[in-house]
Amino acid sequence: MAFGISPKHIQEISLEGLSTEEFLALALEGAKLETWEIGTVKKNGFIAYSGFSLSSYGEEIKMTIENGNATIKSECTGSQILDHGRNKNNIGNLIINISNLKEKLSREELTELTNTLSIKGDDLLPESALETKSKVSDILAIFKPTEGYFITPILININIAVMIIMILTGVSAINPSGEDLLTWGANYRAMTLDGGWWRLLTCCFLHIGIVHLLMNMYALLYIGVLLEPILGRTRFLVAYLVTGIAASVTSLAWHDLIISAGASGAIFGMYGIFLAMLTTNLIERSARKAMLSSVLIFVGYNLLNGLQGSVDNAAHIGGLVSGMLVGYIFYPALKDKDAIISEKYSIRIISVGVIVATIFIYFTTTNAIGIYDRKMTEFLDLEREALVVYNLSDTTSQVSMLRILKNPGMANWKKCLKIVDDVNGLNLPMQLKERNKLMRIYCNIRLETYNLLHDLTKDTTQRERINAEIENLNINLQKTIEAVEQIK
């Protein structure tokens, strides 16, 4: 079985005594019978595109005539893995149409049909928009940089290498913990805004398990072989990095608590660039029309899938929009090497624009979660000191017990209450606000318990009543702790 990025079928047939022009005329007529959209037509063949269907995003059919034989290739324009026999059927139907037309038409009719061929110039059929795919002919070719496919495999290799190193250091290959992801550079507002600006880039090479990695690398491979030959190495690399950062910044501004990781933001950026290219005349019209449906399906499906709570759709949208802007800025230089906005200046404009936007958002986004986390760390330290009361021995003197119950005991619980009241003023997500309400109840129960323990230590005559009250408080305390843990 032949290996390829997307399904295809290739078949070679003889011209059976017909001239190149006659066979080409019959093939074009046969393509029209299939209602394919004819794209490029040259003296040695043509490129056409089938329509969208439930089983396919559309196929590119390319026929090349050479040395008395015609080679016909049908290849899916989309990123689907299976073609449900569409490519083989396309070629089979075209061959049948050619055969039927040959038997049906008289010599005079065939000559007349041949004379209607409209071929501009004497040049040969150019490479199609999908031609770079053929360079990835086996598994190893995915990882090997070649002409027209140079930066893409390097990016794939870096992403895979990061995952391998993570696994070798003990990180789960299937479901890495949030702590592991943060250690390796995931994007999380509290940490990114607290001096971890570099996470905006590192998170683009970090994945949440092997399945996540494989899905993203297949998408990167597909868009890479289509887009890198158009942009060239430098523009492709710059585009990947700046749209990846733009996606991370969008996620940073959008989400309070989500830990974000993965190349999908940058990949959406590359799809955004390609989408921009498909709305211009940079790519041949028929090819644009066929590929547009594929790109829109990919984008639409993944954005809808991103409505799930576990997917960072903000990064997808940020990557897509920034990618389209990058694509339109690149377009003049891609279309005309002498354009006012040359490659050098377009890269500078994009880089400076992303840097300025990143700095602005970075320093204007409120780090409420970061402040909350620091306050909670302070809360835990105070709590730990206050709970030392329960570690005292039975031989502790009354004076020492009373002193410790007051300070650090009751004094620390009052400080904890002050912390809870302070963080209530922050712009926090609803679940943290609910958690704060419970934390306040928790602190008040602790403070009331310590007051009762203080009274009991001073006067044991009320032991039975005080112990009963403490028991009830402990029941409420346990319920409150369980409620807090559920919100976590």
pLDDT tens series, the chain, 488 aa: 334 567 889 999 999 889 999 999 999 999 999 999 888 888 889 999 887 766 667 888 999 999 889 999 998 887 777 788 889 999 999 999 999 999 999 999 989 998 888 776 567 766 666 666 666 767 888 898 988 889 999 999 999 999 999 999 999 999 999 999 999 999 999 899 989 999 999 999 999 999 999 999 988 998 998 899 989 999 999 999 999 999 999 999 988 888 999 999 999 999 999 999 999 888 877 778 778 877 887 788 888 876 766 678 889 999 999 999 999 999 988 887 766 667 778 888 899 999 999 999 999 888 888 888 899 999 999 999 999 988 888 788 889 999 999 999 999 999 999 999 999 888 888 888 999 999 999 999 999 999 999 998 888 888 889 999 999 999 999 999 999 888 76
Paired residues of 53 in beta bridges? 56
Structure token digits, residue 461: 């005559």
Q: Give the end-to-end CA distance of the chain in Å, rounded to a whole number.
A: 51
CA distance 41 to 160: 41
- Cα 230 from Cα 235, distance rounded (Å): 9
Distance CA 466, CA 153 (A): 72
Strand order in the sheet with 69-76: 8-14, 69-76, 59-66, 45-49, 37-42
Catalytic residue list contains 264:
yes
Instruction: Please answer whether residues 240 and 293 qualify as being in contact, where contact means their C-beta atoms are separated by less than 8 angstroms.
Output: no
Q: Which is the catalytic residue, given 264, 294, 322, 346?
A: 264
- Helix spans in 280-367 (H): 285-305, 313-335, 343-364
Segments in 170-232 forming alpha helices (H): 178-183, 189-192, 199-202, 210-231
pLDDT score at 324: 95
What would the two tokens of residue 191 be?
């940490």
Is residue 316 annotated as part of the catalytic site, yes or no? yes
Exposed (0-12), middle (13-18) or buried (19+): which is 436, by Cβ within 10 Å?
Answer: buried
Q: In whole angstroms, how large is the CA radius of gyration of the chain?
A: 33
Query: What are 422's two structure tokens?
Result: 């302070």
Catalytic residue of the set 56, 207, 316, 322: 316
Q: Which residues contact 79 (CB under 8 A, 6 or more apart)?
A: 5, 6, 57, 218, 219, 222, 294, 298
Best CA proximity match to 227, nearest among 291, 304, 169: 291
Question: d(Cα 20, Cα 12) in Å, to the nearest integer?
Answer: 14
Buried (b) or exposed (e) across 89-101, using 16+ Cβ within 10 A?
Answer: bbbebbbebbeeb
**In the numeric block, which tokens belong to residue 26?**
């019959």
Q: Is 253 exposed, middle or buried (0-12, 13-18, 19+ CB in 10 A)?
A: middle
